[in-house]
Chain A
Amino acid sequence: MSLQATMNAPCATGRVARRSVKVSAISAPPTPARAPSATGSVKRAMTMTEKILANHSDNAAVKPGDNIWTKVDKLMTHDVCGPGTFGIFQKEFGPNAKVWDNERVVIIPDHYIFTSDARANRNVDILREVAGKYNIKYFYDITDRSNFKANPDYKGVCHVALAQEGHCKPGEVLFGTDSHTCNAGAFGQFATGVGNTDAGFILGTGKLLIKVPPTMRFVMDGEMPEYLQAKDLILQIIGEISVAGATYKAMEFSGSAIEGMNMDERMTICNMVVEAGGKNGVIAPDQTTFDYVKARTQEAFEPVYSDGAANYIADYKWDVSKLEPLVAAPHSPDNRKKARECSDVKIDRVYIGSCTGGKTEDFLTAAKLFHRAKRQVKVPTYLVPATQKVWADVYTLPVPGCDGKTAAEIFEEAGCITPAAPSCAACLGGPRDTFARMNEPEVCVSTTNRNFPGRMGHKEGQIYLASPYTAAASALKGFVCDPREYM
């Protein structure tokens, strides 16, 4: 057998060989010596994040700490920050300026939509105005607030919509005027949140000055127990390193548990990178990624992978089979506790929704637990599908192993409140009349991403962040509850 057949040669994009190979002997071909002056820039080993940024800048290679100008593939904005972003763009680049590329700006109203607040509604009108003025190709408009289904373009929560509409692609650079833009790192791209001014700058130039972050590696190995979800893994990590543990850093997630996850679960993990202070999160793209992306866009993409010899500033490793369902107790996402250790905490409500925990997978799994338990919730249980597509899935997809029932049917049988119109809703409080906003000081178990004081409305509200399983179990118990009690 020739050596070539026994070796997994790295492919052109520098992909790391995954399978270990027994190599008995290597004979390298002789290479001529190169004079130092002729070598130019040295090709150094880089992490995925570094490579993506190098590819998008004028540098063959970059290293952490470098300040570089990066080209931008997509810029996303929504109703809270869009008006301000375009206001800055118009002020700084002038009334006759055009955006750098009208097909690379995605405008997604999602935050304060189903409200009578006049200013919130005006902000969506402003988005419509700028989308028209600048001929923005992707504007997911809503005009009929009384019936979300009557709006063919409206999608819902921006980060989930970006993925579902095929805007997330391996190897690309995405900026958004929202901290959870890091969600898209699940697709093996560089994605992070910026403010209105930076976004206004991108609108005019298609570039941004950023500092290359060093990468922390988190390896999640082993087989996921049936009661454990991606949310438990990211809460484990944030609890470990704290809310500032990854400040200015990239978080790279790998391991067999990650590889076994679908895109919804991978997004949940990358979504909360910002809760650890992280700049961006990445997961190496694989067939799961390619299948998802190719089903949603014809546009080409080039996946990028970390070099085997790349430098990581920190390495963490977990055997997920040993982990337990967690919550983040009030008032910080790093206030990690085991769900079973909070069983004496009486709760007033449960919320399942948001970009973090309102995707199809989140609702299907919550429904699965309700179905297995065969009883009714003890507290008001609010359900907010992130997008129109998720809402449709909740009403049409049979939940695996549940006698052909849909999630909506199971939720109704369990006594949950009817799933609401897709939007960010109460994840961040919002105007007073927002669906499920916490207007009294209550205790809530939520599949959302932050639990700082006042996050869901009332300053004295107590929010326990949890996985869909834990949220569903808690709804059934009326207390914070480990999902194993119903499995």
Chain B
Amino acid sequence: MLAAQKRALVAQRPGRQSCVRVCAKVSKKDGEPRVIRGKCFVTKDNIDTDQIIPAEYLTLVPSKPDEYEKLGSYALIGLPDDLYTTRYVKDGQMKTEYPIIIGGQNFGCGSSREHAPVALGAAGAKVCVAESYARIFFRNCIATGELYPCETTVRLCDELQTGSEVTVDMDKNVLTDHSTGKTYQLQEIGEAGPVIDAGGIFEYARRQGMIKTA
């Protein structure tokens, strides 16, 4: 895997910046396609919440804006250095270059801490594409609207490389790897899609008239 990471670093073309407007929560406008293009960051199976956001950073309260931003700077900092030579968020930076995260099985296992999807979203992640998710993490992604937890039956984490430019199309349910031209099938995001589009369960419920704003 180390060799693959090295290849990915070499393959990156420094002149071509993937222009991603990074912002908190998804908040897709009505009518806009649910399509995200950018560099992908590849992780493997059982990425647990301690790797996504180590416990020492949990003193940061996600509902406070400045602490929300700080959480983002620590996203995925718990990944073992020998397996992941590329940092998700570069040292000294607050935001990531990789709006798309690729995962294997059981992504987000471990704690119920909402800090996990929040840190990823605050860092600029927009969508995760994995084989399967742990249930609390999956639920938290939708409730917060921080990122789309997309599912796929293909073992993308063995196919793609960190740094490759990809497009995740959640309307057509296709992921395209621009470095190879290959396309991969995605599962339907289903009912979770509109909730995340709106920016989370509360905003969605308000737009649907389910709750009155106090």
Give chain A's interface residues, CB within 8 Å of chain B. 80-81, 83-84, 87-88, 91-97, 111-112, 117, 119-120, 123, 126, 176-179, 181, 193-198, 200-201, 243-244, 247-248, 274, 277, 279, 332, 428-432, 450, 452-455, 457, 459-460
Per the bound structure, the CA–CA distance linking A42 and B96 in Å amounts to: 54
CB of B105 within 8 Å of the partner chain: yes
B48 in contact with A450 (CB, 8 Å): yes
Residues of A within 8 A of B55 (CB): 428-430, 455
Residues of A within 8 A of B51 (CB): 452-454
A198 in contact with B105 (CB, 8 Å): no
B170-214 interface mask toward A, CB cutoff 8 Å, 1 = contact, 0 = none? 000000000000000000000000000000111000000001011
Residues of A within 8 A of B54 (CB): 429, 454
Smallest CB-CB separation from B133: which chain A residue?
Answer: A247
* A34: min CB distance to chain B, Å: 37
**Given that A88-B63, A119-B60 are contacting pairs, would A459 and B78 also be in contact in the complex, using a CB cutoff of 8 Å?**
yes
- B41-56 contacts to A, CB under 8 A, are 46, 48, 50-51, 54-56
Residues of B within 8 A of A196 (CB): 62-63, 114
Per the bound structure, the CA–CA distance linking A96 and B136 in Å amounts to: 30
B144 in contact with A195 (CB, 8 Å): yes
CB of B29 within 8 Å of the partner chain: no
Smallest CB-CB separation from B132: which chain A residue?
Answer: A244
Per the bound structure, the CA–CA distance linking A92 and B59 in Å amounts to: 22
Smallest CB-CB separation from A115: which chain B residue?
Answer: B59
Residues of A within 8 A of B105 (CB): 244
Residues of B within 8 A of A243 (CB): 46, 106, 109
**Given that A123-B59, A429-B54, A453-B78 are contacting pairs, would A201 and B201 also be in contact in the complex, using a CB cutoff of 8 Å?**
yes
A453 in contact with B80 (CB, 8 Å): yes
Residues of A within 8 A of B136 (CB): 179, 193-195, 274
Instruction: For the complex, count residues of B whose C-beta is within 8 A of A.
Output: 41
CB<8 Å pairs between A and B, sample of 10:
A80-B113, A94-B214, A179-B112, A193-B112, A194-B139, A332-B46, A428-B111, A452-B51, A457-B56, A459-B78
Residues of B within 8 A of A87 (CB): 61-64
What 11 additional pairs, Cβ within 8 angstroms, besides A81-B112, A195-B113?
A84-B63, A87-B61, A93-B214, A111-B58, A179-B110, A195-B136, A198-B140, A200-B202, A431-B56, A454-B78, A457-B56
Per the bound structure, the CA–CA distance linking A93 and B78 in Å amounts to: 34
B61 in contact with A197 (CB, 8 Å): no
The total of Cβ contacts below 8 Å across the A-B interface reads: 138
CB of B135 within 8 Å of the partner chain: yes
Residues of A within 8 A of B213 (CB): 94
CB of B32 within 8 Å of the partner chain: no
Residues of A within 8 A of B112 (CB): 81, 176-179, 181, 193-195
Give chain B's interface residues, CB within 8 Å of chain A. 46, 48, 50-51, 54-56, 58-64, 78, 80-81, 105-106, 109-115, 117, 132, 134-136, 139-140, 143-144, 200-202, 211, 213-214
* A450: min CB distance to chain B, Å: 6
Residues of A within 8 A of B201 (CB): 197-198, 201
B63 in contact with A83 (CB, 8 Å): yes
* B180: min CB distance to chain A, Å: 29
Per the bound structure, the CA–CA distance linking A97 and B211 in Å amounts to: 13
B106 in contact with A247 (CB, 8 Å): yes
* B185: min CB distance to chain A, Å: 21
* B7: min CB distance to chain A, Å: 24
* B10: min CB distance to chain A, Å: 26
A430 in contact with B135 (CB, 8 Å): no
A452 in contact with B110 (CB, 8 Å): yes
Per the bound structure, the CA–CA distance linking A194 and B111 in Å amounts to: 9
Residues of B within 8 A of A450 (CB): 48, 50, 110
* B65: min CB distance to chain A, Å: 11
* B19: min CB distance to chain A, Å: 30
Residues of A within 8 A of B110 (CB): 179, 450, 452
Per the bound structure, the CA–CA distance linking A277 and B55 in Å amounts to: 19
A244 in contact with B134 (CB, 8 Å): yes
Per the bound structure, the CA–CA distance linking A452 and B136 in Å amounts to: 17
Residues of B within 8 A of A244 (CB): 46, 105-106, 109, 132, 134
Smallest CB-CB separation from A437: which chain B residue?
Answer: B56
* A133: min CB distance to chain B, Å: 15
Per the bound structure, the CA–CA distance linking A172 and B214 in Å amounts to: 30
A277 in contact with B109 (CB, 8 Å): yes
Per the bound structure, the CA–CA distance linking A432 and B55 in Å amounts to: 10
A277 in contact with B106 (CB, 8 Å): yes
Residues of A within 8 A of B115 (CB): 84
Residues of B within 8 A of A432 (CB): 56
Residues of B within 8 A of A93 (CB): 214
Per the bound structure, the CA–CA distance linking A197 and B144 in Å amounts to: 6
Smallest CB-CB separation from B131: which chain A residue?
Answer: A244
Closest 7 CB pairs of A and B: A94-B214, A87-B63, A195-B114, A193-B112, A197-B143, A119-B59, A195-B140
B59 in contact with A120 (CB, 8 Å): yes
Per the bound structure, the CA–CA distance linking A428 and B78 in Å amounts to: 13
Residues of B within 8 A of A194 (CB): 112, 136, 139
* A337: min CB distance to chain B, Å: 18
Per the bound structure, the CA–CA distance linking A88 and B205 in Å amounts to: 14
A459 in contact with B63 (CB, 8 Å): no
Residues of B within 8 A of A455 (CB): 50, 55
Per the bound structure, the CA–CA distance linking A50 and B48 in Å amounts to: 29
Per the bound structure, the CA–CA distance linking A92 and B54 in Å amounts to: 28
Give the contacting residue for A277; candidates B114, B117, B134; CB below 8 A.
B134
Give the contacting residue for A198; candidates B61, B117, B139; CB below 8 A.
B139
Smallest CB-CB separation from B135: which chain A residue?
Answer: A248
Per the bound structure, the CA–CA distance linking A226 and B113 in Å amounts to: 37
Per the bound structure, the CA–CA distance linking A388 and B48 in Å amounts to: 31
Residues of A within 8 A of B80 (CB): 453, 459-460
Per the bound structure, the CA–CA distance linking A455 and B110 in Å amounts to: 10
Per the bound structure, the CA–CA distance linking A91 and B114 in Å amounts to: 16
B63 in contact with A91 (CB, 8 Å): yes
* B104: min CB distance to chain A, Å: 11
Residues of B within 8 A of A198 (CB): 139-140, 143, 201
Residues of B within 8 A of A430 (CB): 55-56
Residues of A within 8 A of B48 (CB): 450, 452
